[in-house]
Structure 1
Amino acid sequence: MHGFSYRNGELFCENVSLQSLAEEHGTPLYVYSGSTLVDHFSRLDSALSGVSHEIAYAVKANSNLSVLRLLASKGAGFDIVSGGELFRVIKAGGDPAHCTFAGVGKTREEIVYALEQGIYSFNVESEEELRYLNQVAGELGKIAPAAVRVNPNVDAKTHKYISTGKSENKFGVDFGAIADLYERAAAELPNIKLRGLQMHIGSQLTSIDPFIEAVEKVIPLVTSLKEKHGIEFWSIGGGIGIVYEDTLASGSPEWWASKSESERPLTIEKYGEELVPRLKDLGLKILLEPGRYIAGNAGVLITRCLYEKKGSAKTFKIVDAGMNDLIRPALYEGHHEIVPLTEPKTSDRLKVDVVGPICESGDFFCQNRELPDFQPGENIALMSAGAYGFVMASNYNTRPFPAEILVQGGEAKVVRKRQTLEDVIAGEEL
């Protein structure tokens, strides 16, 4: 479910017209639904109610301070992958004691900062990193809480750029090497506290089967580590997929009711039904690290059509947002439903490419897709842009960052001002 729907011919976010936001704040423009963020967090929390757990929101999905503050107010912990993300969480009012620090390349400065702030655990990706963490903690006279990331060699059957749980991926330690690594760490690393075990097999998983396979494979390992080393938590990662196609319709209960069980995407209720019985008797706190599931369908990117270009082979709709604003289609062929802010009056469609102004052939939002025939001057929304949208934006071609708006009910607040050209070059010197 999400907070976007047509009302009286206009696309709304909760109780606010997106057209009115575009007119007031300009385009490109990111808009987030606060009720959707809270709803997705709460539903996931409820689905795991049968087991001791904590939801550590993956900050990398959408790190706007107001988004983080809203989730922190609902009891979220946070999964971070840099010192900068920890800084953001603290600025937003989050508790470092409920932060887990992942990532394969943590620097000394980041490790020191995280130790000083008292994070819950470092999710360690290699033996070399674990030994370096022990060294830095020793120099500071501290004990570093740690969990090693196990690579269970499970095929998540997702895009190769967001698959992380196979042996050829750069993440984690091979499944067969974990037990020995914990033995060595316990014997040789006095400034490490082995607090847990972590895994994450990939993103945008739309089937429950890879989750079940990974959990069942790792349960004997995590049980043994609890007995031998007294670990207290098991992070089973994130990766729950969202609806990217037919996103607008999926905001209604009627759409879900119209689908048979085999046609429905993986629901969070199904996720809980399958995993909680497998986890509840382990005597461990279960950590989840969702990002896309919470934020993905909570946001849209609004952009204005500038021109229509009809060539001999294609028709192009040229818009004012580019791959610098939303890189997912160019980076890993990410699909985003594209809808006009004014509801089409007919079902007529035109096959087009929707492209941006960036000087790259990869600067497109869709190719050869049948869409309503929106015209120059009209605004459209790229759905499902709440995760891995603004956070991956850049100033390529010296284009300022768009503004971000957070809607809660009938109130819309600017939670990031549109960047100016002076902002873009600030810090540079002649």
Structure 2
Amino acid sequence: ALALYRRAASLPHLRVSGIACHIGSQLLDPAPMAEAAAKVLGLVDRLAAEGIRLDHIDLGGGLGIRYDDETPPSVADYLAPLLKVFEGRSEELCFEPGRSLVGNAGLLLTRVEYLKPGEEKNFAIVDAAMNDLARPALYDAFHEVVAVTERAVVPQRYEIVGPICESGDFLAHDRSLAIAEGDLVALLSAGAYGMTMSSNYNTRGRAAEVIVEGDALHLVRERESIESLYALEQALT
């Protein structure tokens, strides 16, 4: 890193102004971030000793949210050890706390197409799939699933799966739900790494995005159509 900064500082058309790091995501303990910040400051001070002075330090994101039973720290508790590390410093401190801002502000709404009972497992096949919310299939990530309509029936345990022909096309495992075919269910905490990680796998259009503001609904991204998926393709001539 020192060599790169020296090289950048020697170039006439560049102005070296800051440093950025990212140690991970969904952090629930502020201690690793404070440790990383101390190491970054060590490099900043070595650069300053050589006349390369930085005016801002970006520590990236990382602050976690509650998906299941996690207990993320408050913003104040998360920042407290960092502020001690930066006490007396003049650099501007930057963060990128995207997940903590939007993660629990979004959900994926999907409809139950079929209920398929089995000897060992029951399956709820929904019209959303791994292309809409990739985190469960990619990371075995947990998203709480809730029924939109309350039903006075005995809940059953279901595997929540999509209609894509992939054994990994699941959204949740072993969830207790009182649902029927045609019901809507919501997968919570989908505001971060939801739409941004979605794809058109199996020629599936991405879902619409709607912002709810009080009693008002705002369509901010239209549902993709088959025509839109083919719009950039050209036939061979």
With normalisation by structure 1, the TM-score equals 0.52
Q: Among residues 1, 9, 16, which one is paired with 1:194 in the alignment?
A: 16
8 Å contact kept, 1:240–1:290? yes
**Secondary structure of 2:116 counterpart:** strand
Could you list the per-position Cα deviations for residues 52-105 of structure 1 after superposition, in whole angstroms to 9, with x for gaps in the alignment? xxxxxxxxxxxxxxxxxxxxxxxxxxxxxxxxxxxxxxxxxxxxxxxxxxxxxx
Could you list the per-position Cα deviations for residues 244-269 of structure 1 after superposition, in whole angstroms to 9, with x for gaps in the alignment? 115xxxxxxxxxxxxxxxx7322212
Q: Among residues 168, 185, 189, which one is paired with 1:362 in the alignment?
A: 168
Q: Tell me how far apart the structure 1 counterparts of residues 160 and 206 of structure 2 sit (CA, whole Å).
A: 20
Q: Match for residue 180 of structure 2?
A: 375
Give the 5 Å matches for 1:245-324.
245=68, 264-324=71-131
Q: Tell me how far apart the structure 2 counterparts of residues 373 and 383 of structure 1 sit (CA, whole Å).
A: 17
**Secondary structure of 1:269 counterpart:** helix
Structure 2: 5+ residue stretches without partners: none
Residue 344 (structure 1) shift: 5.6
Q: Among residues 230, 239, 244, which one is paired with 2:67 in the alignment?
A: 244
Q: Match for residue 42 of structure 2?
A: 220
Q: Match for residue 195 of structure 2?
A: 390
Percent identity over paired residues:
44
Residue 241 (structure 1) shift: 0.7
Structure 1: 5+ residue stretches without partners: 1-177, 247-262
8 Å contact kept, 1:226–1:232? no
**What amino acid is aligned across from residue 52 of structure 2 in structure 1?**
H
Change (3 A) 1:344 1:242: farther
8 Å contact kept, 1:243–1:265? yes
**Which fold has the larger relative contact order, with Cα–Cα distance below 8 Å and residues 6 or more apart in sequence?**
1
Q: Among residues 404, 409, 413, which one is paired with 2:218 in the alignment?
A: 413
Q: Tell me how far apart the structure 2 counterparts of residues 283 and 226 of structure 1 sit (CA, whole Å).
A: 12
Across the aligned residues of Structure 1 and Structure 2, the Cα RMSD in angstroms comes to 1.8
Change (3 A) 1:266 1:427: same
8 Å contact kept, 1:406–1:413? yes
Residue 400 (structure 1) shift: 1.5
Give the 5 Å matches for 1:36-47.
none
With normalisation by structure 2, the TM-score equals 0.92
Could you list the per-position Cα deviations for residues 219-247 of structure 1 after superposition, in whole angstroms to 9, with x for gaps in the alignment? 2222332452121111111111111115x
Q: Tell me how far apart the structure 2 counterparts of residues 359 and 351 of structure 1 sit (CA, whole Å).
A: 22
Number of paired residues?
234
Q: Tell me how far apart the structure 2 counterparts of residues 413 and 184 of structure 1 sit (CA, whole Å).
A: 49
Larger helix share, 1 or 2? 1
